[in-house]
Amino acid sequence: MDKLAKNSTVPRSPIVCIMGHIDHGKSTLLDYIRKTNIVDSEAGGITQRISAYEVVHKTPEGKEKKITFLDTPGHEAFSAMRLSGTSVADIAVLVVSAEDGVKKQTLEAWKAITDSGIPYIVAINKIDKPDANVEKTKNSLVENGIYIEGYGGTVPYVLISAKKGTGVSELMDMILLVAELAELKGDPKKPAEGTVLEAHLDKQKGITSVLVIKDGTLKGGMFVVSGEAMSTTRMMENFLGKKIAQASFSSPIRIIGFDKLPDVGKPFKSFETKSEAEEYVEIEKEKNRKAETLAPKKSEMKTEETEENTNEVVVRVMIKAAVAGAIDAMEHEIAKIKSDAVKIKIIGSSIGSVTENDVKLASGRNPAIILGFDVGIDASAKGLAERLGVGIQTFDIIYKISEWLADEVKKRTPKMFVDETTAVVKVLKVFSSMKDKHIIGGRVEKGTVFVGEDAKIMRRETEVGRGKIRNLQQGKSDTGEVREGVEFGCQFQSDIVPAPGDKLEVFKTMEK
């Protein structure tokens, strides 16, 4: 049996993810590859963007070979999706700008790639730019531990201009060469298995998911299971949105008809019969039940609510997104905001537009803010939100969420007032006192004293009272200020009579 299984494996095309800094040209590279390797008639048929697509590349020998590219968002907030991308990908392309060299996000992407253990290629992009410095960029890579060929390492690199297409064909050749060395194999006779790349709720079609097949073949009439979610393959489309009867390894496909939302980044399996699929679902449910049983109950857990300071300000947040993977991205963005005085609490998350029910759940004594990414707001939800005082903010750029929320947290942070000492006066003599007005002589030991300033009366390091400097005299003439080292007289208004030897600490109250 093992021998038969071994003999039925055949070479398969590579699955590639492109990673790197947000501004270094990943999207431009993917767009160029898509436009130049998918014929116009087919590209025109793409009515809905999905997170993976297949291209056909002609090698220098004239052979046509397929490559699957994962089109996952590149911003650092999508780290969970990127990490799942590197787990499903066979090869990674790390894009680095020839203008900027290695940046923080470059290193984060590189770490995700190396942690996954897959081979990778460095694409030095923007070589057409006036400020491009290829040698400096290569040295920047080496300085950060990315040892490319010819610079003490074995990592292949290609010089490209994603905008003009320079070197992109060579990059595709390199991808195929690395794939050949990796000896990627698949067994077309097996039921398909792979990874969930995308999942969302379509109002017309129901739950839709994008999968990439890593091994085996998926045919019409089979059943797909990911976790506790199950679907038939009656409605199966390729990345162009065309209905297909079957698909095999390395192909991205869309399945319509899951009974619940599968988790993005999780594996899927397929089965010939419904009974086999249902049996697998029951096994998954049992695993989850055991995990819940072993987990500590809420009453046994020391939650932050039970331990939190009663004076702490809590900003409640509900998050909505168009696809499941973006939920992780939003949580990642929100987690970036740190505050000692304000706590952000996510009260719920779901996919789809903002509805009346979301607004009801967000309302209460401390209404939550509903944050949406790439979603609409139902008309009825808008009106209800206004009546119940629930704020709704939607975004189409992921990192704008943390920027907006950081400003909101700042607004809600309780104001702190701190006394900052600006000058110190030593009381030399008290000439007279009448009720709360005292004529004193003193010397400025530190700083500059101005008329109208407040001061603390300090007696042997202890504050005994406070007052205000009503006027200043220097050499029997009125003055607006007295500088350090100068003796002066003044009228000091305070309920407490200063004594010779006391110090007046002049201060300003600052908001922090």
pLDDT 10s digits, 79-92: 555 556 667 889 99
- Residue 464, domain member (yes or no): yes
Instruction: Clarify whether residues 434 and 403 are in a common domain.
Output: no
- Residue 303, domain member (yes or no): no
Last residue of a domain, one of 267, 294, 321: 294
Instruction: Clarify whether residues 325 and 388 are in a common domain.
Output: yes
pLDDT at 78: 54
Instruction: Clarify whether residues 20 and 154 are in a common domain.
Output: yes
- Please give the tally of structural domains in the chain: 4
Instruction: Clarify whether residues 395 and 451 are in a common domain.
Output: no
pLDDT at 156 exceeding the cut of 90? yes
Across the chain, mean pLDDT equals: 86
Residue 178: pLDDT band (50, 70, 90) is very high
- Residue 494, domain member (yes or no): yes
pLDDT at 301 exceeding the cut of 70? no
Instruction: Clarify whether residues 199 and 181 are in a common domain.
Output: no
pLDDT at 306 exceeding the cut of 50? no
- Residue 148, domain member (yes or no): yes
pLDDT at 352 exceeding the cut of 80? yes
Instruction: Clarify whether residues 230 and 169 are in a common domain.
Output: no
Q: What pTM did the predictor assign?
A: 0.66
CA-CA distance, 332 to 489, in Å (whole number)? Answer: 61
Instruction: Clarify whether residues 343 and 440 are in a common domain.
Output: no
- Residue 507, domain member (yes or no): yes
**Closest CA relative to residue 15, chosen from 168, 192, 184:** 184
Ranges 90-99, 193-202, 408-417, most confident: 90-99
pLDDT at 84: 60
28-40 residue pLDDT tens: 898 888 887 664 4
Instruction: Clarify whether residues 15 and 145 are in a common domain.
Output: yes
Please check whether residue 20 is in contact with residue 106, taking contact to mean a CB–CB distance below 8 angstroms.
Answer: yes
CATH of the domain at 406: 3.40.50.10050
- Residue 302, domain member (yes or no): no
Last residue of a domain, one of 379, 412, 445: 412
pLDDT at 480 exceeding the cut of 80? yes
pLDDT at 77 exceeding the cut of 60? no
Cα separation values, 282 from 225, 257, 262, 286, 289, Å? 11, 19, 15, 6, 10
Can you give the residue range of the structural domain that contains 367?
312-412
Residue 93: pLDDT band (50, 70, 90) is very high
Instruction: Clarify whether residues 171 and 246 are in a common domain.
Output: no
pLDDT at 416: 77
Instruction: Clarify whether residues 198 and 236 are in a common domain.
Output: yes
Q: What percent of the chain has pLDDT over 70?
A: 89
Instruction: Clarify whether residues 175 and 87 are in a common domain.
Output: yes
More confident residue, 148 or 73: 148
pLDDT at 288: 80
CATH of the domain at 469: 2.40.30.10
- Residue 354, domain member (yes or no): yes
CA-CA distance, 159 to 57, in Å (whole number)? Answer: 18
Q: Are strands 481-482 and 391-395 parallel, antiparallel or unpaired?
A: unpaired
Residue 221: pLDDT band (50, 70, 90) is very high
Instruction: Clarify whether residues 77 and 18 are in a common domain.
Output: yes
Q: What percent of the chain has pLDDT over 90?
A: 56
CATH of the domain at 149: 3.40.50.300
Last residue of a domain, one of 135, 161, 186: 186
- Residue 179, domain member (yes or no): yes
For residue 64, which phi and psi values (nearest 5 degrees)?
Answer: -100, 125
pLDDT at 1: 38
Q: List residues bridging with 232 in a β-sheet.
A: 223
CA-CA distance, 165 to 192, in Å (whole number)? Answer: 35
